[in-house]
Structure 1
Amino acid sequence: MDKIIEINNICKIYGEDEPVYALDHVSLQIERGESVAIMGTSGSGKSTLLNILGILDVATEGDYHLFGKNIAEYSMKEKAKLRNEKFGFVVQDFALISHYSALKNVMLPLEYTKLSKKEKIERAMKLMERLGIVHRAKAVPAKLSGGQKQRVAIARALVNHADILLCDEPTGALDSKTTEDIMALLMELNREGKTLVIVTHDEKVAKYCKKQYVMNDGKFVQV
């Protein structure tokens, strides 16, 4: 298989006089098409790790190779392009813009592409149709259920044909039935070739993934 993410002895340190290790010499390899769950309680370091993987944060120490290249060798412009085109982000609170319609929220990552407005709308609507929310395209987030909001967020994560989905507590705000529906959708996307990394405190959610890790105090304590 194709190794697309490799981190070696990653540390994230806050403070100088009394340093706090949010991540303490963490190593991880993820191959294309894998499904990986990272479990842990609040403050264990799992969200910090996800942010570093998604180039939303940088490690204090250690190496991160993405698509076979050290992340330090990518320019700022290249990193921004990677974030927008290779990664899709799904979070617990959905992170939708409240005064935008569902359709406009899905289209957001396409803003800086060369696609015409018509092409952007067509691509977004096609995804929304697949995810069963095309009938809610004109609705603002306040008019959507939790499951519909998360489907909008997943469509937004996919609209740029992302290779890697990074999900931070994607079911944390959902009831048990909607959680099952969203996880079934994410696993279907994984079977189609998307690499899936899920951060969760929920063991039931983690069990959907082929690989499961447990973090505590910035370290992997169980693999």
Structure 2
Amino acid sequence: TQLTFSNATLRATNNVLVVLVDYHGHDETSTAKGVENPRGILGASLSTGTFKTWKIQGNAGGSANIDPVRGPMNEGGLYAERLGWHLPGFDVSKWSPSEGPTTGLAKSGVQFYVTTFRLAIDADLDAPLGIEFSAPAGTVARLMFWINGYQFGKAVFHIGPQLRFPVPPGVINNRGVNTLTISLWAQTDEGARVSEVKLINYGLYQTDFDFNADWSYLQPKHVGGREKYA
């Protein structure tokens, strides 16, 4: 694949190229070499000149595990992730009001959305819950979402197939406030939007389990100091 810089402003020296790459998973044993098969971008070169250096931006803190409850694999390298925008308690009071991912993006890029909702399901009812997404036909985009700080699913609308994600108690609060965070990556200049974000219920079951339990210890809130990872 060859890309041109005809729509970019180039300087005589010290140009910076940023490449955003998602994790592409691995083949399984049904193909030659299985998990050893490479995925994603295998190399990059300039038609004239060379790149001086490459740097990779991963999760905040790297292997330092700054979120020992959710673990370092819970976050990626998006600017919003490194600053902890996906965590409960992050202050969004200065953000511009938004209609959310149903409005989406008018061109390629990544948008981040945060909302909260309260549930008050009877304490003696086991009500398995999930999140379901849909998008207009032909949407070329990748969506990732977090519930109470936990990265819990990815929807790749032009590839599929999973658009419905069950979320267990302890990650979601059946009785209390929940923080839902969504990143929407429009991968073409056609932009992208989500048709619907829906909380779904898989059933209702009488139970002796105490859904009044305090799960805050499983859902550490945002704390300051992440600016150094920007």
The TM-score normalised by the length of structure 2 is 0.23
The TM-score normalised by the length of structure 1 is 0.24
Structure (1/2) with the larger helix percentage:
1
Q: Rg bigger for which structure?
A: 2
Query: Which protein, 1 or 2, shows the higher relative CO under an 8 Å CA cutoff with sep ≥ 6?
Result: 1
